[in-house]
Chains A and B, each alone.
Chain A
């Protein structure tokens, strides 16, 4: 069975180390925050100018001056700080953010990522995505392995306009955990009830199977 959205988020949460500063994109990446265990000290960065995102506010705490990059009302975590957009992207571009997790429409075997526009459709803009993939120390992509028609989104070459070149370190898809190497995709883990060969078959780009490839193991855990 491919992973569902919550399981994807849970698997990605294991990529987060104690002491990390992490920027989570909109969608599945946002769910990752729910699975960070309490014994890890993690600061979540919001590119609109907050380091230390707390949980959603109680109704009585809602503050129009306190939102995340998705424009949702949030609270501040202990140890939080506020700053300007220039400082925020100084953190991001300057390599001070340990990890970013983003969604993608396509990733190719060179580590190029496309996640901001589809020609012919209304373009909403790249927001901070191009800065994040260019500057974060580690870029993890959370994505569906295939589109609704079953076409692989892990391509030989991206067909959509790029967000960044050679910048993805790891993909966590509903089919598996895949690293980007100088020789294309490397399958490290696969979804339970699938086989590495099935993942390989579902991938358009060049993929090798790691000799130590193993099934994804998720701890019994509900969101914290």
Chain B
């Protein structure tokens, strides 16, 4: 069997070059491939196009690649919460393509599923529609949106096996399953790496066919952007 297991993020990033397009999983700082992002920083690759729902915060997530000016363009749905981003965007040092969140998810899904474009009702009559084909189906207008593929995709899963089968945890799943399908080379980092056969086949979210490289991540920070708690316990009826 071809070995998919790499010792660490640095090794798993072999082949990363300037000006590549990267599809990166995560929502905010939840479910982001922390190890891969750090290794991308260390690689020094620049001119990158990053397809990711958000751009991290100033000092974490994709934000650290903005600091080092390695990112040329972001394709995202929401990029608040990041002063570095704001500064570079206002100074026109950073290109940004804002894309509705559902359209972004579907573009990545389509890219990975061999679908070059699809029609969606989202964004009709807005700035998002500028320059895009509009087609009417059953009396309603739809926009043509394009699928997205990446040279690399980086995803974070909870558990994975050595074939690359992945299981995500709670809302850390988010964009990761689609991102996994959309990379020419998909790198998965996992909290727990197990032997083939140890994950129940019925529980697998991403089949290993989509994953070319896998490694056990280290030192997860799992930062929380907004910690909200309640004081009193609620009894279930």
Residues of chain A whose beta carbon lies under 8 Å from any beta carbon of chain B: 38, 46-50, 55-59, 62-68, 70-74, 76, 78, 82-86, 88-89, 92-93, 112, 117, 122-131, 134-135, 161-165
From known contacts A85-B174, A85-B175, A86-B105, infer whether A125 and B79 are also in contact, taking CB-CB under 8 Å.
Answer: yes
Cβ of A86 to closest chain B Cβ, rounded Å: 4
Asked if residues A46 and B127 are in contact (CB atoms below 8 Å), the reply is: no
Q: List 28 A-B contacts (CB under 8 A).
A: A48-B30, A58-B229, A64-B223, A65-B31, A65-B171, A67-B224, A67-B225, A71-B29, A71-B225, A71-B226, A73-B228, A73-B229, A74-B228, A76-B170, A78-B236, A84-B175, A84-B177, A85-B27, A86-B177, A89-B101, A117-B127, A122-B90, A125-B76, A128-B101, A129-B100, A131-B102, A134-B124, A135-B121
Interface of A, helix, strand, loop or mixed by DSSP: loop
Name the distance in Å between A173's Cβ and chain B's nearest Cβ: 23
- Chain B residues contacting A162 (CB-CB under 8 Å) are 125-127
Please give, as numbers and ranges, the residues of chain A lying within 8 Å of B158 by CB-CB distance.
65
Judge whether B203 is part of the interface by a CB distance below 8 angstroms.
no
Q: Does B122 contact A (CB under 8 A)?
A: yes
Closest Cβ neighbor of B120 among chain A residues: A93
Closest to B87 in A: A122
The smallest beta-carbon distance between B184 and chain A, in angstroms, is 20
Q: Does B227 contact A (CB under 8 A)?
A: yes
Residues of B within 8 A of A89 (CB): 101-103, 105-106
- Across the interface, do B230 and A58 meet the contact criterion of CB distance under 8 Å? yes
Q: Which of B105, B227, B229 contacts A85 (CB 8 A)?
A: B105
CB within 8 Å of A: which B184-233 residues: 205, 222-230, 233
A73 to B227, CA, bound (A): 5
Q: Does B44 contact A (CB under 8 A)?
A: no
Query: What's the least CB distance linking A118 to chain B, in Å?
Result: 13
Contact, CB under 8 Å: B98 / A88: no
Using Cβ atoms and an 8 Å threshold, which residues of chain B touch A74? Answer: 228
CB-based contact B121/A93 at 8 Å? yes
Minimum CB–CB distance from A61 to chain B (whole Å) comes to: 8
Q: Which of A86, A135, A162, A164 has the most CB of B within 10 A?
A: A86
